[in-house]
Structure 1
Amino acid sequence: MPESNLVLIAKLQDMIHDCLKDYVSADEPMAILDFPDIRNCGDSAIWLGEMAYLKDRYRKRPAYVSRIDDFSAEELEQVMPSGPIFIHGGGNFGDLWVAHQDFRELVLERFPNRQIIQFPQSIHYKSKERVEQSARAIGRHKNFVLLVRDEESKQFAEKHFDCQVRLCPDMAFAIGGLKPAAAEFPVLAMLRVDLEKAGDLDVSAYPDVPVEDWTTESARRVRVSKAIGAASGLLTLKPGEVRLRKLDAAAHNRFRRGIRQISRGRAIVTDRLHVHICSLLLGRPHAVLDNSYGKVRRFMNAFSGGTDLSYMAASLDDGIGWARRQAGQATGRGDAR
């Protein structure tokens, strides 16, 4: 991996700590809500980065964690009557992925006297009415800290929300550098097929370039992750720790799957933010197309653009052309990764 890339990762890790050190204490319990129990490996990367940050900087684990659907306010209060409540980071602050915003605002309403910190998010709203609803929920709380991943989100939040707003890199960088597996083909296209896709990209002109999105884990992998959490010995632990180990196991399985998947390309073309971030952690060259509302471009402008490993492509043709040149150079160096 280029030395400049390692320097960038270390710099972003220090920036994360500068943002979070005022809200995390080695002695005070904390909760993390909205565990990402979904196939998106990028969300698992964020979760593992959140956990890595707490372990590396504070040697601690959260006292309470939950998904949206198994959250219990009563259990949280019983486990930790005091201490900050963190909400998992990502790109769902707004009304595009509304279930997460509904949950976020419910937590603000349910805990008016607890400090609530939002791990770094990208903000995107389509509805003025929903912006106003969020602003009311935040305004009533008075002790909400909103970390955002780009300048546009920061400006939006400062304009519309009455809370502390800070610019912070994505938590996945807290994982640190990764070792890739050997590549299987020159260029891999990792393109979204959901609401945030870059557009209707025509890849038919490139039959030699595999086109994929994050794959879904098999039923066997799901069973394995649950079995890890239910292994012998865990019955002596508190229920919260058992839940945390199960969720961690699921996140690790999904993350390893995603890393294996993108490692198969010697160079990558993508419109996914966390394919970009994971490619930086792997040291893999990658061309980047923006997602539907500018999230990837905004993040790269704030933190991760300008490296030799990443290229902001003007089009799919431009991105594949750049990636092919990078893959050819890697082969010329004898780089089989």
Structure 2
Amino acid sequence: MSTTSKKKNSLSYSEYIKFNTKFYLKNFILNSSKEGKTQYGKYKGKKKFFVMQTPTHGNLGDQAIAYAQKRFIEDNFKGYEYIEVPFEDVIKDTKEIKKVLEGDDVIGIHGGGNMGDLYLSEEYLRRYIIKTFKGTKIVSFPQTISFSDTSIGKRELKKSISIYNKNPMLLIVARETQSYNAMKKYFGEEKVVLTPDIVLSLNESSDMKREGILTCFRNDKEKVINHSHKEMLLESLKKHFGKVTVSDTSVPKKIYPNQRKEELSQIWDSFRSSELVITDRLHGMIFAVITNTPCIVFKNSNHKIECTFLDWLQNKDNVQFLKVNEIEDKNEIIKRAELLIHKNNSQSINENPFKDKYKLINSYIQRKVTGVKNERV
């Protein structure tokens, strides 16, 4: 198999053609003709760290990634101005951004789980950034790669390999070993490093009073658990534990950068005030970890949850991963939930065990800035 995922692409070939036409019409014809922002001029002569392709949609996992990236940059690149360029502004702002780019500047590309053909608009814009800003240091923040084993997936992977490998200033950060090995194979060892998901750099724990169970299940193309089984599980949990709060890390509204912290604080409060989280979302599991909330996590349709758990979290006593066959056993889930709740190990965390894992990103950028020849980090 030539890709990292056996999952079929959800688009038929005709839908794929229509998608491509719509994407390029919207972004390269309509969007590129719009007036770009002129505020970038005030950063001329200053060291700048742009972060491009950040979300304005309601996926709080992606919003948390954007928040954690900003915190990481502010903590580790104190001499730099942080400048965020949301997804919809990248193409129309390109000319204005190029006018102010200078030698020490860095471009970060938003991390996540969208390197592949499942979310093609994200992959297309990432390629655009890597191709357009070839002379600037670029860091693609921690990502999962997942190209499908279809004609579309193979075609798109080939395009990404060609564009990524033509940029000598690019660092690609994988967030789990399966993606790390695939990225090294496709893009070369010198371009790829491994760190945890950037959200694991946060510590959002507290000593809030905890009560009940919080569920956080997805309802999109990455889900594995079906609706009827989910409903039966919820009913069993309510009968056994009483208070069960149904939640999700995706909300049906736009979230702009100035609204991000408030929205994240709300969801993190719901985690911090729960005795246990049951989820099939990667950032459901990660939010549980950074709030030190016991968690049972189910597998999703690709490798990102299982590999993240095995690489970084399997030694945590209060996180348990269930494979597909284990998800079907309601009694086993209830038994594990009882054990995790009774451990009562959900105090605040003093030290974040993942903090040092991200030094690879720092050292790469510093080497590029200082011009050191040995670029392997």
Query: When the two structures are superposed, what TM-score results if normalisation uses the length of structure 2?
Result: 0.68
Map 1:212-251 → 2, pairs under 5 A: 212-214=247-249, 216=251, 247=257, 249-251=258-260
Residue 296 of structure 1: SS of its match in structure 2? Answer: helix
Deviation at 1:58, TM superposition (A): 3.3
Separation in 2 of the partners of 1:160 and 1:195?
A: 26
Partner of 2:166: 140
Matched, 1:293 2:302: yes
Residues 6-21 of structure 1: pairs in structure 2 closer than 5 A: none
Query: Alignment partner for residue 135 of structure 2, among 113, 138, 147?
Result: 113
Distance 1:213 1:320 in 2: 20
Q: Which amino acid aligns with 2:95?
A: E
| Residue aligning to 1:80 | 101
Residues 48/61 of structure 1: CA separation in 2 closer, same or farther (3 Å cut): farther
**Residue 305 of structure 1: CA displacement?**
1.9
Give how far 1:215 is off: 5.0
Contact 1:269/1:320 (8 A) holds in 2 = no
What SS does the aligned partner of 2:140 have? strand
Report the counterpart of residue 93 of structure 1 in structure 2: 115
2:261 corresponding residue in structure 1 = 252
5 Å-filtered alignment, 1:143-162, equals: 143-162=169-188
TM-score by length of 1: 0.76
Shift of 1:327: 2.4
Gaps of 5+ in 1: 1-26, 226-245
Code of the aligned partner of 1:294:
H
Q: 2:219 aligns with which of 177, 193, 204?
A: 193
Paired position in structure 2 for 1:171: 198
- The count of aligned residue pairs is 280
Q: 1:334 to 1:278 in 2, by over 3 A?
A: closer
**Comparing 299-308 and 313-322, the one that deviates more:** 313-322
Match of 1:46? Answer: 65
Q: Give distance in 2, aligned partners of 1:161 and 1:33.
A: 21
- Give 1 or 2 for the bigger CA radius of gyration: 2
Higher relative contact order (CA 8 A, sep 6+): 1
Query: Following TM superposition, by how much is the alpha carbon of 1:175 offset from its aligned partner in structure 2, in angstroms?
Result: 2.1
Query: 2 CA distance for matches of 1:307 and 1:161?
Result: 32
8 Å CA contact 1:32–1:62 kept in 2: the answer is no
**CA-CA distance at 1:148 after TM superposition:** 0.3
Name the SS for the 2:275 alignment partner: strand
Choose from 276, 280, 290 the match for 1:281. 290
Instruction: Tell me, yes or no, if structure 1 residue 128 matches structure 2 residue 154.
Output: yes
The separation in 1 between residues aligned to 2:164 and 2:346, in whole angstroms, is: 54
In terms of mean alpha carbon deviation, does 167-176 or 124-133 score higher?
167-176
Give the Cα–Cα distance (whole angstroms) in 1 for the partners of residues 266 and 295 of structure 2: 19
